Amino acid sequence: MFKKKDTVKVTAYAPSTGLIDLFPIEHRKFPKYFKSFQKAENFRSIKTCPGFVDLYSNSLSIPAWQDIKITISSTGNIEVMAPQVEYSAVSHPLEEQAPGVWPGYVSVKLESPWLIKCNKDVPWYMIQPTWEQNSPGNFSVIPGSLEFKYYNETNINLLFPIPETTKHILFVQAKLLLCYCLDLLRSIVLNANTYQNKKLINY
């Protein structure tokens, strides 16, 4: 595809400076609760696990850009409330787009305002941000492979079970991490000096 020594540059674009400031394009910091881990003799925390460290060293994170309220009724109806309707969410009926898949579930696509541009055709894998979730069962991220050289959108598809009786309500707070985008070509190390400054463009 390209030589290992080639520099990979990633740039985030957004329709406002506030969103640019919010987007943590470099995902390098461990979750805050890891600070509570105490050092002790013969004690090894998850921070010593190569798989965990590599996840944080080779991924981008996409946080929620605003507060979003998602309500799912026992009949499968979906209601979305957000300050900016343009960048909220839509529902794609699973029975139409993927007949037979996940019976008893509904899909909600969060329409992200961010675009990502990569100068190389690097494959990225969008996965669940499990380590950032207090309750991993609140929502499931539908995984997928992306590339940001020719296709720049960062929409996120979530999966919810249809509640049997009462409605299910999910409050997505701004800054909540919604997914990891993992660099599948791990031979290309994306360290701090490989990233361009975040830029602003007009949509």
Largest distance between two CA atoms of the chain? 57
> Measured between alpha carbons, how far apart are the two ends of the chain, in Å?
31
Residue 95 near residue 107, CB atoms below 8 Å: no
The pLDDT of residue 100 is 86
Nearest CA among 128, 152, 180 for reference residue 10: 152
What's the CA gap between 11 and 5, in Å, rounded?
Answer: 19
Sign of dihedral through CA atoms 65, 125, 152, 31? positive
Q: Which two tokens stand for residue 157?
A: 């598809």
- Give the range among 6-10, 94-98, 136-140 with minimum mean pLDDT: 6-10
- State yes or no: pLDDT of 3 exceeds 50: yes
pTM: 0.79
Q: Which class does domain 10-194 fall in?
A: mainly beta
* Predicted confidence (pLDDT) per residue in 40-84, tens digit: 555 566 767 788 877 877 788 888 888 999 999 999 899 999 988
Give the model confidence (pLDDT) of 147-192 as tens digits.
888 888 899 999 999 998 888 899 988 888 899 888 877 654 443 3
Domain definitions of the chain by residue range: 10-194
> Quick one: which H or E segment has residue 107?
strand 105-110
